[in-house]
Amino acid sequence: MSPARKPSGPSDEALVRRSLDGDRWAFTEIVDRYKGPIYNVAYRMLRQREDAEDVAQEVFLHVYRALDKFDLEQRFSPWIYRIASNLCLDKLRKNKNVTISLDAPLAEDRGLYRQIPDAAEGPPELAANAETRREIQAAIDALPEKYRLIVILRHTRDLAYEEIAEAMDLPLGTVKTRLFRAREFLRRYLEGQRMDLED
């Protein structure tokens, strides 16, 4: 999936400048460019469609209200992902009932990385790949929030380490360490082992 940070047409920052000058089309273009990626991040964090839709809408309201505070010397994508990340974490704190068992059984001998099925695969292969994707998603859901968000930004939005650090307001070393620990957690989880993640 190609990230929103490589759009065609005007740059994000050019659209921000035009929005600040009162160009409504420019802000609509920002929303169109980021609504899918922001919803996807929110859904992967919250796992509830309505919550993800609410957060995505709140992100764009926040962006609209705070656009004049955006530093035009900075890149836009880490700024909007930081807003989305903070709103997702706030929502998770409010929804304390969102819990996932770390002890949920998973089939053994499943690899973390699998190829996406192509059209030539038959029903048994498609079913096996769908099950693998469910297991991987369950493992991601089992990650503590701060680790899950980094995995989502890195592997579904394809953000660079530096962009994740900027979006989450973390030192670069912390991002790399958390991503390393998260990957190890996922590997062990899929092998049916348990691993506690702490800073």
132 and 44 housed in the same domain: no
Give me the domain span that covers residue 45.
1-98
Tens of pLDDT, residue by residue over 2-58, are 444 455 689 999 999 999 999 999 999 999 999 999 999 999 999 889 999 999 999
| End position of a domain, from candidates 98, 129, 148 | 98
169 and 197 housed in the same domain: yes
The pTM (predicted TM-score) of the whole model is 0.67
Helix (H) or strand (E) holding 10: none
Q: For the chain, how many structural domains are there in total? A: 2
Q: Is residue 108 part of a domain?
A: no
Q: State how far the Cα of 171 lies from the Cα of 183, in Å rounded to an integer.
A: 19
Tens of pLDDT, residue by residue over 85-119, are 999 988 888 876 444 444 444 443 334 333 334 44
Burial class (CB in 10 A: 0-12, 13-18, 19+), 97: exposed
